[in-house]
Structure 1
Amino acid sequence: MLETLKRYALCILNFCLIAAVALLVVDVLLGVASRYLWGAQIKWTEELATVTLIWVSFLGIAAAFEARDHLGIDLVTDRFTPGMQRKTALFIHIVTLLFVFIVFEIGGVKLVVQAIHHWNVLPALQVSDVIQYLPLPVSGLFILLFEVCSLRNDLVPQPETNAKEVRHD
């Protein structure tokens, strides 16, 4: 069930990332084109680019966690014995889960709640600034799911698939 949830979450994450990057590209091109065509940039394009870049950055962090492409220092741990590598991996998973839960979820939710309470509006877009803080807890949920799946995969050895297909003729 966890793997199924992860698959659906990854599809949603990838769709959101593709849409956000496409929006960012179109928005920046529109801002540059308006500057050259009309002599002045459309005022909301810069603000939209900033918000979209925040979303792309945080969702990209989550995608990196799923692919296990985040920064890591393997130079030292590669020299450990397999048992010590497993213990180190467990420690890293626990620290990562705690960090993401505390910073992304607790901290991110507090930022969103404060933004809702103060209800500031972005001047050019005329939307709440909640949209700038929302990527933190959203990406945190993705990261927590992916990290729990990675932890489970590292703790529970997965059965190896047999590369040779058995034929019954």
Structure 2
Amino acid sequence: MLPTIRDFLKSILAVLSVTLFAVLVATTTWQVVSRQILNEPSTWSEELARLLFVWLSFLGSAFLFGERGHIAVDFLARKLPFAGQRVAQLFVQVMVLLFALVGLVWGGYLAASIAWEQNLTALPFTIGWVYLVIPIAGVFIAVFALMDIVGLFLGEIEPYPEIDDPVAEPTEPAASDSTLVVSAEADSTDSKEADR
């Protein structure tokens, strides 16, 4: 049940992030074209690009948190026994939940409500729309943190999942690699014999 809800929420955030990114690229492209080619700078594109960037940053952060892909310094926690890892991860998730509820949801609501009457200069929106994404992202992060807490209690998720290192060298060459090495050695031997 929880993985299905998590996947649904992540898909919403992914669609929103991709859409915002596409509109951001189009807006920035129009800004460059209007300024450099048409010599008539657009008055609204810079402000819209700034608004889109803020929204993309917060929603993208919430998506990354849902993926459990956020930056974490977990070197010491991984050295603990499994029970200690679970306690450490529960503590982290409770702190994230508190920060999301107090800092992002409540604080973002206050920031948006204070700025709701302040107009943007080039767009028909208020500055409150810029801040509105903070409590929205906070709700998503709080839900993901709550799911992680429940998943840790039920033993459905690992406290610190193993991470595949894409930079690590393979220990054994693949069959195609050894074929290439053998054929390269044969070619070099043939060229040495031809030189004699």
Q: Give the alignment's TM-score, normalised by structure 2.
A: 0.76
What residue number does 1:163 align with? none
CA distance in 1, matches of 2:118, 2:133: 17
Quote the offset at 1:87 in angstroms.
Answer: 0.8
Quote the offset at 1:13 in angstroms.
Answer: 1.2
Quote the offset at 1:90 in angstroms.
Answer: 0.8
CA distance in 2, matches of 1:79, 1:100: 28
1:149-168 to structure 2, matched below 5 A, reads: 149-158=147-156
Contact 2:94–2:145 (CA under 8 A) maintained in structure 1: no
What residue number does 1:44 align with? 44
What residue number does 1:134 align with? 132
Quote the offset at 1:6 in angstroms.
Answer: 2.8
Aligned letter for 2:126? S
CA distance in 2, matches of 1:83, 1:97: 21
CA distance in 2, matches of 1:6, 1:20: 21
1:72-151 to structure 2, matched below 5 A, reads: 72-116=72-116, 119-151=117-149
Q: Runs of 5+ in structure 2 lacking a partner?
A: 158-196
Count residues in correspondence. Answer: 157
What residue number does 1:26 align with? 26
CA distance in 2, matches of 1:3, 1:144: 15
Q: Give the alignment's TM-score, normalised by structure 1.
A: 0.87
Percent identity for Structure 1 against Structure 2 = 29
What residue number does 2:182 align with? none
Runs of 4+ in 1 over 3 A off after TM superposition: 1-5
Q: Runs of 5+ in structure 1 lacking a partner?
A: 160-169
CA RMSD of aligned residues (A): 1.5
CA distance in 2, matches of 1:19, 1:135: 15
SS in 1 for 2:41: coil
Question: Could you report, residue by residue, the CA deviation over 1:56-76 in whole angstroms, capped at 9, with x for unpaired residues?
Answer: 000011011011111111111
What residue number does 1:166 align with? none
SS in 2 for 1:78: helix
> Which has the higher Rg, Structure 1 or Structure 2?
2
Aligned letter for 2:115? A
